Structure 1
């Protein structure tokens, strides 16, 4: 694909400069400069990439859905089609403690805006894998087991081994007891690891969501999974606005089990140990 030419057509502006700075799975990442001086972020699909256009449609839908509750937390979708997603360019820097506390408070506000059911109205993706967003007004635990754990277990089974598969199956069998007090669905980012948080102008901006109606502890557990900066301040800000239910720390491994299974499927055995440890910790919690 002629990325530069397609970008110009999609946004209706002359592209003065386009530079690739990285890749993500099968997609190229670019910074573009448009006539008039506007900088844009571009994610473009390599021909034949997994998910085809559904990946960008899901990401755009998630950003718009999150932005409907808090427009300042996510970037505006400038343009999207089956081959490309275009967002404003964000000059990011280091996180500060004050920005982290602000993120915690704003995340609590976002979560307070309940969509009324778990799941979403669009087909989901997480990285290059389909994400079953089939909506449900029932309990979170059964939805999580059926839509976030069970779909990835067969593909992860070879790396996890029989003992690892058995651990995850025990978590699913006991999900009603392990999930903690009932919570109404929250509007969550769904893939909130530290790499999807950009720090700019004294606040955080969230990108690359797998957004859906879910459990609010899921976003916080994701922030902890790979070490978000100033996590203690994020949590402090969150607790000021919306205190978490008793036992939330013990439930962190339960919420991390889904992204870890995804990592096993995508990247192989290097994540198998972490996944089995999370399942064991969830059962012990």
Structure 2
């Protein structure tokens, strides 16, 4: 199901005229009927995105204007990362302390590649991931679905702030969503740098209340415990961390299955 509002008949008519004009700039004669058919095929995409794609065609094309050429530029502007960047984002989920902002397609492709990755074949896992990712992205673009970025929360509070701030700056999540997420954080950033990053979004810098200071003191004590722990306790803590990572991966798989189920009923 298309997540964008379809263009109105008036907008489609204006788009058809723009297509004819673009074809003429490229030295091509295009009939009104052909332009109207192309405009109707493009009507599921935002008008601004299609207009930008036509402008790119006028600048970049040397041959004839085709629907495929316009669609290529429309789809490339949907905000979905390329396969190599998507794989790098997926691999970031291996760090349980890292907060990761990822798309539905990255999460679903990671679930598809997980059995190969768990077997220790990273090269094969990458191939499986890219194959699934390109298929999922192709289907989403064919259905004219907008990209959906969401957050997988890690344990490090400062990294949460950094990840959300970066996602807002890259326009992957709306600023108001970033503000709400930062307001809902249960633990304040540990460092002044973290608070400064949060201020870029919220517009204000909040200092820890006494209750939060107590929580931060517990975090600090826990870190000191790790430094002073015996070799046996360190092994136990590493096992606990590995279990937490496994739980996080299981959650990502569960969410991916839910996404797949939703796609099936749409």
Higher relative contact order (CA 8 A, sep 6+): 1
Q: TM-score under structure 2 normalisation?
A: 0.22
Whose helix proportion is higher, 1 or 2? 2
Whose strand proportion is higher, 1 or 2? 1
Q: Which structure's CA Rg is the greater one?
A: 2
Q: TM-score under structure 1 normalisation?
A: 0.21
